[in-house]
Amino acid sequence: MLDLSSVTTLFFDLDHTLWDFETNSALTFQKIFEEENIPIPLQTFIEVYSPINHSCWKLYRENKITHIELRNLRLEKTFKILHFDYSERLLSVVNERYIEYLSDFTHLFDGTFELLEKLQKRYEMHIITNGFDNVQFHKMRNSGLQPFFGHVFTAEQVGYKKPSPEIFEYALAQSGKTAMECIMIGDSLEADIEGALDLSIQAIHFNSHGEESHSACPIVHSLKEIEALLL
C-alpha cells in the first residue's frame, strides 16, 4: 500500500507510461516504409522489432552499448530475422527519419490528460526519462504534455540512466524534495520501479507491456487505476 501522508511530488516516466510509444513508433515506421518502398508488412516488422527494441534498451541502460549502437542494432537484428536485404544507406535513412518523425506522432494512453488535470491540483509533477533530450522535449511539446510538468530529467542531461541512483538523486535535489515526498510512476520494473525503491522512493508500476507480476509496489494496467491510488 502507498503512504500518501507526506507525498507532494510525482515523477513520471514518459515512453510506455504517458506517451504511447508502441502506437507512435508503428506509425513512424509506416511513414518511412511508404517513403522508401520497403516491402515488409508493418505488423510483421513490429512483431519482430518490438522485443528486440526492448532488449536493446536494456543493454543501453546497462551501458553495454551506446545510443548510436542502440539505434543501429535494433534495426539490423530485425531486418536479418526477416531476411530483408538492406543497404547501409537504407539503414542510415531509416534511422535518421525515425528520430526525425517519431515525435510528430502524439498518441497518449487513454485518460492521460484527464489524469494529469486532476493530479496537478494536488501534486507537483516531473518527468524522469532515459530517452534522448531532443526527441523527448519534442514529444512533450507536440503531445501537449509540457504544461503539466516542471522539470524533464533526461539520462542524457544528467549523465546517468535509470535505474542508476544518480538520476533519481539528481531529480530529488533539483526539485527540492526528499524521497518520502515522492512517488515514481513508470512501466519498467527494472528501470523505474527498482531504481526508485532502492532510494526509498515509493512507486507505482504501470505495467503497459506485460512484465511479470511482483509484490514490490502497486501494479496497475490503466491510468484510471493510478487516479484511484493517488486521489
How sure is the predictor about 125, in pLDDT bands with cuts at 50, 70 and 90?
very high
How sure is the predictor about 112, in pLDDT bands with cuts at 50, 70 and 90?
very high
Q: In which element (H, E) is residue 9 found?
A: strand 9-12
Predicted structure pTM score = 0.95
d(CA 156, CA 67): 10
**For 42-99, what is each residue's pLDDT tens digit?**
999 999 999 999 999 999 999 999 999 999 999 999 999 999 999 999 999 999 999 9
d(CA 223, CA 156): 27
Q: Is the pLDDT of residue 149 over 90?
A: yes
For 12, list phi and psi in degrees, rounded to 5: -110, 140
The CATH class that applies to domain 9-20+108-230 reads: alpha beta
Q: Which three cell numbers, joined as nine digits, stand for 119?
A: 493530479
Q: Say how many C-beta atoms besides its own lie within 10 A of residue 3's C-beta.
A: 9
Which residues have a catalytic role annotated?
13
Do residues 122 and 231 lie in contact, with contact meaning Cβ atoms separated by under 8 Å? yes
**Domain definitions of the chain by residue range:** 9-20+108-230, 21-102
Q: Provide the mean pLDDT of the chain.
A: 97
d(CA 200, CA 203): 9
Q: Is the pLDDT of residue 150 over 90?
A: yes
Long-range own/partner contacts, residues 41-48 (CB < 8 A, 24 or more apart): 44/82, 45/78, 45/82, 46/22, 48/78, 48/81, 48/82
Do residues 166 and 51 lie in contact, with contact meaning Cβ atoms separated by under 8 Å? no
Give the distance between the most distant pair of CA atoms in the chain.
58
How sure is the predictor about 1, in pLDDT bands with cuts at 50, 70 and 90?
confident
**For 159-197, what is each residue's pLDDT tens digit?**
999 999 999 999 999 999 999 999 999 999 999 999 999
Give the pLDDT of residue 174.
Answer: 98
Give the pLDDT of residue 127.
Answer: 98
C-alpha distances in angstroms, 77 versus 30, 39, 52, 97, 109? 18, 17, 7, 18, 28
The CATH class that applies to domain 21-102 reads: mainly alpha
Q: What is the residue type of 13?
A: D
Q: What is the residue type of 215?
A: S
How sure is the predictor about 141, in pLDDT bands with cuts at 50, 70 and 90?
very high
Instruction: Report CA Rg, the chain.
Output: 18
Give the pLDDT of residue 115.
Answer: 98
What does the pLDDT average to over 100-122?
Answer: 97
